[in-house]
C-alpha cells in the first residue's frame, strides 16, 4: 500500500465479477433498433452445448468483444447476439458415450423419446456452464436475446427453410453413395469425413472363369484384381478393364465367378479403369464405392448391398453374414487362401475416411437420403465474394471459399440420428407432403433429422426473427462482421452466405474475420486425448481475464500460433503498469489548468492522437496484433517511460490535466480489449460515467504538433545519450554541460542531471545522438578515456559518411531512386559530415 491507499498490484478477481454484474444491472449491453443510430451487429458463433469453452472460443470471444465494444463506444447501436447450438451429432455422441459408461445402455435400449429427453437435459446443463464462461471472459452480449437452435422459434425457422427449399425443388430425395458411419448408424456429409493415412494392404483377389473358354490371356485360369477391402467382393457385380488395354481385349465379355456367393458376373470395358494400377482389372461393387456406383450406373448393373447399418455383413454375404466388417475381412482372406484364390498381398499406404465425431472408419454406402442441390444457391454467394460485397480478412480465404463454392457437390442434409430437427416430410401410401405438422390422419413423419449445419446456416437471420419480418431483422441485418476459425469456413460460413442471399436477398455479414487456431504450447493441435489442452478459465484465474484477452489479441494473426503463457504475463504486466500509472495520476489534483501547456504536454497529446488514429485503423482491418503492439508501446514507452517522468521532474501548469487526459484516453482505447481493468481504473480516477459509455477517442488533427514532436524527439535523444554515457563511464551525480540547440532545456536538465553552463573549458565529453551533440565537462583524468571514446565515435561516423557517399556516387541511384530517398541520403551525408568535423576538432584539441 502507498499513500494513495490503493494496492500496488491490480487484483482482477473481485473486480471482474463486480463490474460484470454492474454492466448487466445497468443494461449496458442491451441493444434495440433505434432509427437515430447506425446499427452494428455481430452474431456469436454458437458454441456447441457439448461441453466447455476452449481457447479458440476465448480468442474469438476477445476479438468479437473488442470490436463490438469499440462500436458501442463509437455511438453505434451495437448488438452482440449470443446463442448456443444443439450440435446434433456431437451431442448425441457425448450422450451415447455417457449412457454406455454410466448405465451400460445404448440409445436403442432407451428408445427415441427417452433418448432425446436425455439429450435435452444434458444440453440444458452444458449450456448454463458455457454461458457462465462467456461472462467470465467479459463478453458484452445482450443476454435478453439469447438464442438456441432448439428453441421453439428457431425450430420454426429451420422447418420453414427446409420446406421453402423443398418447394423450390432444391431439396430432393435420392439413392446415392454416402459416407456412412456404422457407429452412429447415420450418413454424414463429405465435410464431416477426415481422411487419414493408414498402413493397409492390397489383396490380390482371383475370380475363376466359368464360361468354359479356358485360361485367360495371361495363361491363368482366373482374373485377378487388387482391393484394399476384400470383404466388399461379396457385393461384386462385374469386373472391368480399360477398353484400350490390349492385354485384356479377349477378357471383355467373359464370365467369372464371385467366390462364396457363387454369383456369375461379366467382365466389362470402362474407361475409368487405369491400366497402370495393379493388374489393370477392377472389381465393381456399386453399393460400397462411389466410383463403382457410377460404373454400375453406366452399365445398368444392379447393386448388391452386403452391409447392415451397423457395419456387419448382411444376408447377401453368404457364410460371412453377421460378422463385423473387420472379422469379415479376415475371414474372406482366409477362405480365399484356402481355396487358392488369394493372390499377392502387398503392404499399401492409403487414405481412409474417419467419422469427424466418433472416429469410426467410414463406409461408402448406398442409401436413400435428402439432398440439397447447391449450384443455384452457390452462384449468388460466389458473386458476393467476387464483387467484394463480403470482405474476408485475410483475403486469401475469400479466394479459397470461392474455389470451394465453384466445385460444390450436393449436400446430404439428412441424418439417421435422433437428436436434432426432425425432417418436416410426411408420408402416407406413397404420398409425400412437406409440412411443419402432420397433414392429417395416417401420415407418418420421416424418421431422420437434419444435419446440424443446416440449422446453423440460418444463424444470422433466424436469430433476429426470420421468417417473420421483425424490426430487429430490418435494423440489424446484414450484420457487420462474422469472426470464426477457418475450420468451419465451408461447413458454416459459406452456407450462411448462401442461405442469407437465398432467404433474405442480402449478404449475412459485411466482413468475415478468419482468426488463427490456438495451438498447444508445443505447437501441435490441442486435443483432449493428447492431454495438452489449456483451459481458458485457468488462465483467467491465474492472470485475469483482461490480461489473457490482451495476450491473445497480441498474438492473434492470420497464422496459427502456439499459445504462450508469456503473452498472458505480458498482459498482466501491462495491466499492472496501467494500474500504477493510474495511482500516479491520482496523486495530482483533479482540476488542472488548461493553459500554459509545455512542449512536453503538447508532444504527448500529439503522440496520443496519432496513436488513437492508427490503433483504430488496425482494429478496423482486423489487425489485432498490430493494434496491441501499438497501444502497448505508446502507453508504456511513451506515456509511462517518458511523459510521467517528465511530469515528475519538469511539470507545467497544464501537466496534471494532460496526465489525466492522456491516461483516460489510453483507458478508453483499451477498454474494448481489457474491459474490467480499465473500467476499474476509470472508476478509481473518479469518472462518473461507466467507461462502457465513454466515447471512443477520435483522431484530432488540432492536437498534432510537429514542433513539439521534433523538440521532444531531440530532447529524448539527448537525455538517452547522457544516460548511456553515464552507464559506460560510471559517472554519477550532477554533471555540467552545454544544452544542445532545439531541445526542451527544462526537461533535458531534469532528466539528464546535467546542469547547463554557457561555455565549457578544459576536458569535455562530446556525445552524439543522431544529428545532435551534447557536451559534458570532464575532469582531467578522464581525458584519456574520452579520447578512446571519440576514436570509436569517429570511426562509426566515418562509416556512415562512406555509406552515404557510396550511394550518392552511384549515378543510377541518384537517377532512378525516388527524389525523397536521394535527398534523405544527402541530408544524412551533410549532418554526418558536420558531426565528423566536430568530433575531429575535439580530438585534435585533446591530443
Partner RNA sequence: GGGCGAUUAGCUCAGCGGGAGAGCGCUGCCUUCACACGGCAGAGGUCGCUGGUUCGAACCCAGCAUCGCCCACCA
**Residues from 215 through 274 that contact RNA (CB under 7 A):** 225-229, 272-274
Interface with RNA in residues 684-713 (CB under 7 A): none
Q: Which is nearer to RNA, 224 or 479 (CB)?
A: 224
From 726, 585, 737, select the one nearest 665 (Cα to Cα): 585
**Under DSSP, is residue 793 helix (H, G, I), strand (E, B) or coil?**
helix
Q: What is the dihedral of CA 311, 317, 319, 320, to 10 degrees?
A: -30
CB-based contacts of 795, cutoff 8 Å, min separation 6: none
Does 798 contact RNA by CB under 7 A? no
Distance CA(769)–CA(793), nearest Å, equals 11
Degrees, nearest 5: CA angle 802-803-809: 80
- Span of 297-305, 558-566, 665-673, 683-691 interacting with RNA by CB under 7 A: 558-566
With CB under 7 A as the contact rule, which of the stretches 122-130, 249-257, 470-478, 811-819 interacts with RNA? 811-819
Q: Segment contacting RNA (CB under 7 A): 152-160, 566-574, 739-747, 783-791?
A: 566-574
Asked if residues 722 and 762 have their Cβ atoms less than 8 Å apart, the reply is no
> With CB under 7 A as the contact rule, which of the stretches 34-42, 61-69, 141-149, 554-562 interacts with RNA?
554-562
314, exposed or middle or buried, with CB in 10 Å at 0-12, 13-18, 19+? middle
Asked if residue 276 binds RNA (CB under 7 A), the reply is yes
Min dist CB 421 to RNA, Å, is 24
* Smallest distance from RNA to CB 21, Å: 24
Q: Which is nearer to RNA, 435 or 488 (CB)?
A: 488
Q: Restricting to residues 504-523, which ones interact with RNA according to CB under 7 A?
A: 519, 523
φ and ψ at residue 732, rounded to 5 degrees: -100, 175
Q: Which residues between 643 and 662 bind RNA (CB under 7 A)?
A: 644-645, 648
Of 2-10, 79-87, 110-118, 338-346, which segment contacts RNA by CB under 7 A? 2-10
Among 580, 611, 638, 715, binds RNA (CB under 7 A): 580
Measured from the CB atom, the residue of 83 and 311 that comes closer to RNA is 311
**Footprint of RNA on 377-396 (CB under 7 A):** 396
- Which CB atom, from 471 or from 566, has the smaller least distance to RNA? 566
**Short-list 709, 738, 708, 711, CA closest to 722:** 738
CB 197 within 8 A of CB 299: no
Taking CB under 7 A as the rule, does residue 614 contact RNA? no
What x/- string results for residues 466 through 495 when contact with RNA is judged by CB under 7 A? ---------------------x--x-----
Closest CB to RNA among residues 445, 576:
576
Contact between 727 and RNA (CB under 7 A)? yes
Query: Which residues, numbered 308-337, are part of the site for RNA (CB under 7 A)?
Result: none
Contacts by residues 246-252 (CB-CB < 8 Å, ≥ 24 positions apart): 247/217, 247/218, 247/275, 247/280, 248/217, 248/280, 248/281, 249/217, 250/216, 250/217, 251/216, 251/217, 251/223, 251/281
| Cell output for 777 | 565537462
With CB under 7 A, what is the number of residues at the site for RNA? 83
Residues 34 to 63 in contact with RNA, rule: CB under 7 A = none
Count CB-CB contacts under 10 A for residue 375: 12
> What are the Cα distances from residue 584, in Å, to 127, 580, 740?
43, 6, 31
| CB 474, min distance to RNA, A | 36
Map residues 581-610 to x or -, x wherever contact with RNA holds by CB under 7 A: x-xx--x-----------------------
Cβ distance to RNA smaller for residue 331 or 575: 575
Q: Rounded to an integer, what distance in angstroms lies between the CA atom of residue 135 and that of residue 587? A: 33
Residue in the structure block whose three cell numbers are 448405465: 103
- Helix axes of 675-684 and 655-670: crossing angle, nearest 10 degrees: 150
Cβ nearer to RNA, comparing 327 with 400: 400
114, 138, 122: which is closest to 49 by C-alpha?
A: 122
Q: Least CB distance from residue 619 to RNA, whole Å?
A: 15
CA angle, 582 then 584 then 590, to 5°: 80
Residues 14-33 that bind RNA (CB under 7 A): none
User: Rule CB under 7 A: is residue 799 a binding residue for RNA?
Assistant: yes
- Tell me: does residue 564 bind RNA (CB under 7 A): yes
Count CA atoms within 13 Å of residue 291 on its CB side: 9
By CB under 7 A, the residues from 738 to 797 that bind RNA are none
Residue 346 sits in the site that holds RNA (CB under 7 A): no
**Interface stretch with RNA, choices 96-104, 158-166, 308-316, 635-643 (CB under 7 A):** 635-643
Round to whole Å and give the CA distance between 683 and 401.
46
Amino acid at each position: 500500500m502507498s499513500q494513495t491507499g490503493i494496492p500496488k498490484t491490480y487484483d482482477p478477481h473481485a473486480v471482474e465479477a463486480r463490474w460484470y454484474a454492474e454492466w448487466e444491472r445497468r443494461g449496458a449491453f442491451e441493444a434495440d433498433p433505434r432509427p437515430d443510430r447506425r446499427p452494428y451487429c455481430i452474431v456469436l458463433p454458437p458454441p456447441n452445448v457439448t461441453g466447455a469453452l476452449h481457447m479458440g472460443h476465448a480468442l474469438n470471444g476477445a476479438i468479437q468483444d473488442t470490436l463490438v465494444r469499440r462500436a458501442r463506444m463509437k455511438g453505434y447501436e451495437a448488438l452482440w447476439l449470443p446463442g448456443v447450438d444443439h450440435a446434433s451429432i456431437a451431442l448425441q455422441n457425448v450422450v451415447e458415450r455417457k449412457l454406455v459408461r454410466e448405465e451400460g445402455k445404448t440409445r436403442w435400449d432407451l428408445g427415441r423419446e427417452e433418448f432425446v429427453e436425455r439429450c435435452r437435459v444434458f444440453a440444458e446443463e452444458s449450456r448454463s456452464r458455457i454461458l457462465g464462461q462467456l461472462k467470465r471472459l467479459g463478453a458484452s452480449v445482450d443476454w435478453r436475446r439469447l438464442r438456441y437452435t432448439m428453441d421453439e422459434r428457431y425450430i420454426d425457422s429451420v422447418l420453414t427453410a427446409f420446406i421453402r427449399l423443398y418447394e423450390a425443388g432444391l431439396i430432393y430425395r435420392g439413392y446415392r453413395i454416402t459416407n456412412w458411419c456404422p457407429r452412429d448408424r447415420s450418413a454424414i456429409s463429405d465435410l464431416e469425413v477426415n481422411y487419414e493415412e493408414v498402413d493397409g494392404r492390397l489383396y490380390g483377389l482371383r475370380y475363376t472363369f466359368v464360361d468354359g473358354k479356358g485360361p485367360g490371356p495371361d495363361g491363368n485360369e482366373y482374373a485377378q484384381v487388387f482391393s484394399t477391402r476384400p470383404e466388399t467382393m461379396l457385393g461384386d457385380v462385374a469386373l472391368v478393364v480399360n477398353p484400350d488395354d490390349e492385354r485384356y481385349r479377349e477378357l471383355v465379355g467373359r464370365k467369372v465367378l464371385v467366390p462364396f456367393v457363387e454369383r456369375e458376373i461379366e467382365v466389362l470395358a470402362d474407361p475409368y479403369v487405369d491400366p497402370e494400377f495393379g493388374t489393370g482389372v477392377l472389381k465393381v461393387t456399386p453399393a460400397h464405392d462411389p466410383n463403382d456406383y457410377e460404373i454400375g450406373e453406366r452399365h445398368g448393373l444392379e447393386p448388391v448391398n452386403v452391409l447392415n447399418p451397423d457395419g456387419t455383413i448382411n444376408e447377401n454375404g453368404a457364410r460371412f453374414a453377421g460378422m463385423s466388417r473387420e472379422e469379415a475381412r479376415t475371414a474372406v482372406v482366409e477362405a480365399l487362401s484356402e481355396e487358392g484364390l488369394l493372390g499377392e498381398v502387398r503392404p499399401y499406404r492409403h487414405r481412409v475416411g474417419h467419422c469427424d465425431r466418433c472416429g469410426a472408419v467410414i463406409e461408402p454406402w448406398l442409401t436413400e437420403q435428402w439432398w440439397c442441390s447447391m449450384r443455384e444457391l452457390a452462384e449468388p454467394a460466389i458473386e458476393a465474394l467476387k464483387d467484394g460485397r463480403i470482405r474476408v480478412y485475410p483475403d486469401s480465404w475469400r479466394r479459397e471459399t470461392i474455389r470451394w463454392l465453384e466445385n460444390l457437390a450436393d449436400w446430404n442434409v439428412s441424418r439417421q440420428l435422433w437428436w436434432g430437427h426432425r425432417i418436416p416430410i410426411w408420408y402416407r401410401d406413397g404420398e409425400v407432403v412437406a409440412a411443419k405438422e402432420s397433414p392429417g390422419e395416417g401420415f407418418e413423419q420421416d424418421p431422420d433429422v437434419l444435419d446440424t449445419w443446416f440449422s446453423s446456416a440460418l444463424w444470422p437471420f433466424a436469430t433476429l426473427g426470420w421468417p417473420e419480418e421483425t424490426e430487429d431483422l430490418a435494423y440489424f441485418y446484414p450484420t457487420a462482421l462474422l469472426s470464426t476459425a477457418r475450420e468451419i469456413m465451408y461447413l458454416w460460413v459459406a452456407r450462411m452466405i448462401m442461405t442469407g442471399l437465398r432467404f433474405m436477398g442480402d449478404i449475412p455479414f459485411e466482413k468475415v474475420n478468419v482468426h488463427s487456431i490456438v495451438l498447444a504450447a508445443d505447437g501441435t493441435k490441442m486435443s483432449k486425448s493428447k492431454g495438452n489442452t489449456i483451459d481458458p478459465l485457468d488462465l483467467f484465474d491465474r492472470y485475469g481475464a483482461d490480461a489473457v484477452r490482451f495476450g491473445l489479441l497480441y498474438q492473434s494473426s492470420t497464422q496459427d500460433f502456439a499459445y504462450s503463457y508469456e503473452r498472458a504475463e505480458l498482459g498482466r504486466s501491462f495491466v499492472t503498469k496501467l494500474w500504477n500509472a493510474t495511482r500516479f495520476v491520482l496523486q495530482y489534483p483533479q482540476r488542472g489548468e488548461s493553459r500554459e501547456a509545455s512542449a512536453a504536454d503538447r508532444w504527448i497529446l500529439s503522440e496520443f492522437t496519432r496513436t488513437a488514429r492508427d490503433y483504430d485503423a488496425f482494429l478496423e482491418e482486423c489487425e489485432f496484433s498490430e493494434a496491441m503492439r501499438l497501444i502497448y508501446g505508446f502507453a508504456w514507452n511513451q506515456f509511462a517511460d517518458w511523459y510521467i517522468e517528465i511530469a515528475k521532474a519538469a511539470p507545467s501548469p497544464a501537466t496534471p490535466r494532460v496526465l489525466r487526459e492522456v491516461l483516460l484516453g489510453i483507458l478508453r482505447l483499451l477498454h474494448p480489449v481489457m474491459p474490467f481493468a480499465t473500467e476499474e481504473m476509470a472508476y478509481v480516477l473518479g469518472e462518473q460515467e461507466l467507461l462502457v459509455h465513454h466515447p471512443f477517442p477520435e483522431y484530432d488533427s488540432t492536437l498534432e504538433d510537429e514542433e513539439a514532436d521534433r523538440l521532444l524527439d531531440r530532447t529524448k535523444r539527448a537525455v538517452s545519450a547522457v544516460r548511456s554515457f553515464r552507464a559506460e563511464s560510471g559517472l554519477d551525480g550532477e554533471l555540467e554541460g552545454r544544452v544542445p540547440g532545439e531541445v526542451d532545456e527544462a526537461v533535458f536538465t531534469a532528466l539528464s542531471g546535467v546542469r547547463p553552463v554557457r561555455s565549457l573549458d578544459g576536458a569535455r565529453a562530446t556525445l552524439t545522438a543522431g544529428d545532435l551533440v551534447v557536451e559534458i565537462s570532464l575532469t582531467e583524468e578522464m581525458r584519456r578515456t574520452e579520447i578512446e571514446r571519440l576514436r570509436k565515435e569517429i570511426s562509426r561516423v566515418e562509416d556512415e559518411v562512406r555509406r552515404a557517399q557510396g550511394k550518392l556516387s552511384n549515378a543510377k541511384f541518384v537517377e532512378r531512386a525516388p527524389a525523397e530517398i536521394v535527398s534523405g541520403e544527402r541530408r544524412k551525408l551533410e549532418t554526418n559530415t558536420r558531426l565528423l568535423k566536430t568530433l575531429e576538432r575535439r580530438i585534435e584539441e585533446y591530443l
